Amino acid sequence: MPTMKADANFSKKLVACYAIGWNITQDELDAYTGLEFAKGETDTGVIISFNSEAEYVDDKRGALKVTDVSAEKCPPVLDIFQEGVYHLYDYQFFYRNLEKNVQIRIDAFVKEK
């Protein structure tokens, strides 16, 4: 796996990486030293990642807890997901939020340049 050290300016060329439902490990962040998680909505050159889950699902992973959604109406569909894991619905739940956030980050990126 190549490292970001080969191009120290990589994150300066990146608006954002939307790694929805993807697990980003500390080892990966260490290997790609130019990348970090977003801290605010206008950050650029950052990673945005989340996975939607019901409130009873394990919270040690920092998953986004979705309320007012029932497992009956949003079943896991695939055998690889347990009940209450709403990963297949991440975009459906938050499409407009993501759309707005992408534009905010693009505007911030252009303004920085």
C-alpha to C-alpha distances, 28 to 21, 48, 68, 97, 102, nearest whole angstrom? 16, 14, 34, 27, 23
- pLDDT tens readout for residues 55-90: 877 767 777 889 899 888 999 999 999 999 999 999
Domain boundaries, the chain: 4-112
pLDDT (average), residues 43-54: 92
Q: Model-level pTM?
A: 0.81
13, 21, 97, 11: CA torsion to nearest 10: -10
Q: For the segment 98-113, what is each residue's pLDDT rounded down to a tens digit?
A: 999 999 999 999 999 8
The pLDDT assigned to 89 comes to: 95
pLDDT on residue 1: 43
User: Which one-letter amino acid corresponds to residue 19?
Assistant: A
Nearest to 20 by CA among 57, 54, 59, 63: 63
